[in-house]
Amino acid sequence: MTPASEPATVTSLPIGSDADLAWVRHQVRQFAAELGFGLVQQTKIVTAASELARNTLVHGGGGQAQIHPLHHGPARGLRLLFTDTGPGIRDVELAMTDGYTTGGGLGLGLSGAKRLVDELSVETEPGQGTVVTVVAWVTRAPAVRPGLG
């Protein structure tokens, strides 16, 4: 469902502490609810945001999250950017593999986030930092047609 139009407003949030992670989750949930994301969709985008914000803090040394509400015709969505100036990711393909970790966790951060959203991209340069962008669109449950269960 791309291309996405540019958002009217952008909200930038610092990521420098665990308290900031909670604030990012709260803000993403609020935007998702306002845009009409269902409860399951809200949970998915908030979970992805939580994983990516934690990666920004733990592996990137902190940074920022940007929340972009998207409006493309009747479609509504969210674009989230997580930016840091940390060491970067040496091998993005490897980092996207389930089970790969450099921090002793489960290794589901990037790959798990990718499964929870419609789009995920990683821009990184070793020694220069990383930008992870995710996009999720509001989806509506299909209408139930009479006579079909």
Cβ atoms within 10 Å, residue 19:
8
60-75 mean pLDDT: 94
Q: Is residue 120 part of a domain?
A: yes
Q: Is residue 51 part of a domain?
A: yes
Distances 77 to 8, 57, 84, 113, 144 between C-alpha atoms, Å: 12, 25, 23, 16, 24
Number of structural domains found in the chain: 1
pLDDT of residue 104: 52
Q: Is residue 79 part of a domain?
A: yes
DSSP-derived 3-state class of residue 100: coil
Could you report the per-residue pLDDT of 12-36, keeping only the tens digit for each?
999 999 999 999 999 999 999 999 9
Q: Which residue has the higher pLDDT, 5 or 92?
A: 92
Q: Is residue 148 part of a domain?
A: no
Angle at 53 (CA atoms; ends 66, 27), nearest 5 degrees: 55
- For 81-106, b/e burial (b = at least 16 CB within 10 A) is bbbbebbbbeeeeebbeeeeeeeeee
Instruction: Name the residue with tokens 């015709």.
Output: 73
Could you report the per-residue pLDDT of 34-55, keeping only the tens digit for each?
999 999 999 999 999 999 999 9
Q: Is residue 2 part of a domain?
A: no
pTM of the model: 0.82
**pLDDT at 5 exceeding the cut of 50:** no
Could you report the per-residue pLDDT of 93-127, keeping only the tens digit for each?
877 776 655 555 444 578 889 999 999 999 999 89
Question: How many angstroms separate the CA atoms of 4 and 121, rounded?
Answer: 15
Question: How many angstroms separate the CA atoms of 125 and 88, rounded?
Answer: 5
pLDDT of residue 149: 45
* CATH number of the domain enclosing 98: 3.30.565.10
pLDDT of residue 73: 87
* Average confidence score pLDDT of the chain: 85
Domain ranges, residue 74: 11-137
